[in-house]
Amino acid sequence: MGRPGTGAGSGARPPPGRTPAPASGRARVRKATADPGTGSPRARLECDAMAAGDQVPLSVCIIAQDAESQLEACVRSVPFAREVVVLDGGSCDRTMDLARSLGARVEQRPFDGFVSQKNAALSHARCDWVLSLDADERISEPLQHEITALFQGGAPAAAGYDMPRRAYHLGRWIRGGGWYPDHKLRLFRRDRGRFGGEDPHDRVLVDGPVGRLHGDILHYPYQDLFDHITRMDRYTSRAAHASLAQGRRLPLLRMLAQPPLRFLKAYLLRGGFRDGRAGFVLACMASMYELMRYAKLWELQRQARER
C-alpha cells in the first residue's frame, strides 16, 4: 500500500534520541488580518512586510484534524518561514488552540478529501512560495538549512522542489519496500502548482521545471499497527468510492493477481526484507491494501447493479 500521511490524526511520537530534533523556539509568523489570503497585491505586500530577521518569504500550509499530539513538532520544525497557516478540518481536540498559541494563523473548513483540502489551504497563503505539510510531518534540520539557502539572493530558479521523505513506523526508520526515499514535491510557487491525484494519494502538479532537495521530511504516519489498520480501512473506502465514481472496471484477473504482486514488489523488488520483521509486516499490509480496495470496489459495483 502507499504511505498516506493524513496530517489529520496522531501518528507515532518521535523516538527519543533517534530523531533529528526539530529546531527549538516559536515559528515566527504574522497574525491574520481581516483580509483573506487570496494572493491579492495587498496580501503579497503583507508577506513582503514580514521580512524580519532571517525568515524565508514562504507560507507553510498545514492541514490538520485532531492533531494535538503532532502539531507542535510540525510547526516548530519550520522556524524559518514567514507565515504558518493551519487549515483545520473539524477538530474535536485542542488542535486549533495549540496552533494559535504557536503563532500560526488558523482557518477552518470541513474536511472533504485530501486534494480539495490541500488546495483550499493554498488559497489562504500570502506568500508567493508555499511549503505544504501534513501535521504528522516535520522538516529535518538539514532540510531547514537547505530551504533557507535556496532563497538567499532572491527567488529560487525552479517552479517547485521535491525532497525525500523518511518514515518512522513499527519502532524504526523504514528503508525498504518503497518507503524511502519517497520523494514528495512540497515546495513550489503558489501560482505554478496545484494538488491533483486521487484521494487519498494527493500529489502536486507544477507548471515549470522541478528541482530536487536532499534533506528529509520526517514522517510519523501511525501510532502503532492498530492505527495503521484503522486508517487503511478508511483509505481503501475512499479509494473504492473514487474508482466507482470514475467508472473503473474490475477484471477478476487483476483482483487475483494484484495483492500477491504487491507483496513481492514491496518485500523483494523494493527491499522490504532489509527492514526485518517490520518489512515483512509492511509488505503484507501493502498486499492487504490492494485486496481491501478491490473487494470494496466490487461490493460497491454489486450494490449499484442491484438498485
Give pLDDT tens digits along the chain (307 positions).
Answer: 444 334 444 455 555 434 444 333 333 333 333 333 344 444 444 465 444 557 899 999 999 999 999 999 999 999 999 999 999 999 999 999 999 999 999 999 999 989 999 999 999 999 999 999 999 999 999 999 999 999 998 889 999 999 999 999 999 999 999 999 999 999 999 999 999 988 788 999 999 999 999 999 999 999 999 999 999 999 999 999 989 988 888 888 989 999 999 999 999 999 999 999 999 999 999 999 999 999 999 999 999 888 8
For 159-212, the pLDDT digits (tens) are 999 999 999 999 999 999 999 999 999 999 999 999 998 878 899 999 999 999
Residue 70 to residue 135: CA distance in whole angstroms: 6
The pLDDT of residue 20 is: 44
Within 8 A by CB and 6+ apart from 143, the residues are 163, 213, 214, 215, 216, 217
Contact assessment for residue 58 and residue 81, using Cβ atoms and an 8 Å cutoff: yes
Per DSSP (E only), the strands in 122-182 are 129-134, 137-139, 160-163, 165-169, 172-173
pTM passes above 0.75 = yes
Long-range contacts, 68-72 (Cβ 8 Å, 24+): 68/10, 68/93, 68/94, 68/95, 68/98, 69/10, 69/13, 70/7, 70/10, 70/11, 70/135, 70/136, 70/220, 71/95, 71/98, 71/99, 71/102, 71/135, 72/98, 72/102
Q: Would you state the pLDDT for residue 251? A: 86
Structural domains in the chain?
A: 41-219 (3.90.550.10), 225-306 (no CATH)
pLDDT at 199: 79
